[in-house]
Amino acid sequence: MLTPFPRVARFAAKNFWRDIWLSSVTIIIFVLAISLVGVLSGVKVITDQAITVLRSKVDVVVTLKPGTTETVVLDLKRKIGELPETTAVEYVTAEENLERFKSLHLGDETITKGTAALETNPFGPSLKIIARSLDEYPKIAKVLEDQTFAAAIEEGGRSLEANQAAIQKLSHFTRNVNRFSLALTLIFSLIAVLVVVNTMRIAIHTHREEIGIMKLVGASNWFVRGPFLIESVFIGLLAAIIASLLLLAGIALLEGWFNSLFQGYDVNMAEYLRTHFFGIFWGPLLGALLLSIVSAAIAVGRYLRV
């Protein structure tokens, strides 16, 4: 005779309600663990997003010496453009560079007067290079070191190094955040497992009389164990729901801060976190549910002899 699932679930709900204080403490620990891991996942997404934005904004501008012939510039543009690592190369003429300089310093009278007095264009042409990724720039740099072109490039006419150093710092910070997140996730997971195992142990101890009678009157093993396992599902689910609400509230609260952080960039971080909520936070949410069930299974296997 199979015990119907709804009846086992009803027993689980009764147990959950009877041990509500014990269940609440377990849920709180779980909510804390999920929220913390969730926050760390969020931080990772934000830093990743920041790096992506920065990387997409980073380009290398190679400034060539004034008087460099168009043949040389176009040859260099072609060579760089042919590299698989290159996404785009923009040729900016010497005249355009001068115009950009003038418009940039439009309000500066001294500079305006100075540039007006110029008889020759002091600017050379330039190439604005965008690579597929920041790590590809060294390969592009090799072309620039080619003797054919090296002589035509202005001293210090490459803006790569400064940008790369800043992004490397940010990448390094992200890597450390990720490592720290992983360590904290493991620690909190272990704490959550221990808490659930202990909760189930106490629950089994509390219900030992009822369990004894169940066994005596021929309850199936599933009926004896099932309620504890289903109770762990309740705990995991409730904790996941509460933690989700807290994380959503946190995102709403920090919306202003996100906007100021990404000011000037086309990024709405709060909206991004909301629309990708389950994509970003599925790990801690599903993890909580699984950890809760696994912990209950450990406790039932260890402390509930059927």
Partner 1 sequence: MAMITFERVAKIYPKDVVGVQEASLKIEPGEFVSIVGQSGCGKTTMAKLIIAEERPTQGRVIIGDWDITDIKQRDIPTLRRQIGVVFQDFKLLPRKTVFENVAFALEVSGASPQQIQSTVPQVLKIVGLETKQDRFPQQLSGGEQQRVVIARSLVHRPKILVADEPTGNLDSINAQEIIDLLKRINSFGTTIVLVTHNREIVNTLRKRVITLDHGRIIADQKSGKYIL
Site residues (vs partner 1, CB under 8 A): 1-4, 7, 209-210, 212-221, 223-224, 306
**Nearest CB to partner 1, comparing residues 105 and 215:** 215
Q: How many CB atoms lie within 10 A of CB 293?
A: 17
**Nearest CB to partner 1, comparing residues 47 and 220:** 220
Closest CA to 238 of 248, 230, 227, 226: 230
- The runs of H, that is alpha helices, within the chain are 5-18, 20-57, 70-82, 94-104, 109-117, 137-144, 147-150, 160-206, 208-216, 221-253, 255-261, 269-275, 277-303
From the CB of 232, what's the least distance to partner 1, in Å? 20
Closest CA to 12 of 292, 284, 305, 274: 292
From the CB of 3, what's the least distance to partner 1, in Å? 4
Backbone angles phi, psi at 229, to 5 degrees: -70, -40
From the CB of 220, what's the least distance to partner 1, in Å? 5
**Nearest CB to partner 1, comparing residues 213 and 290:** 213
From the CB of 227, what's the least distance to partner 1, in Å? 10
**Nearest CB to partner 1, comparing residues 7 and 172:** 7
Contact 73/89 with Cβ under 8 angstroms? Answer: no
From the CB of 206, what's the least distance to partner 1, in Å? 13
Closest CA to 233 of 303, 302, 290: 290
Q: Give the span between the Cα atoms of 45 and 279, in whole angstroms.
A: 11
- 69-98: string of b/e by CB count within 10 Å (b at 16+)? eeebbeebbebbeebebbeebeebebeebb
From the CB of 25, what's the least distance to partner 1, in Å? 23
**Nearest CB to partner 1, comparing residues 213 and 252:** 213
**Nearest CB to partner 1, comparing residues 109 and 209:** 209
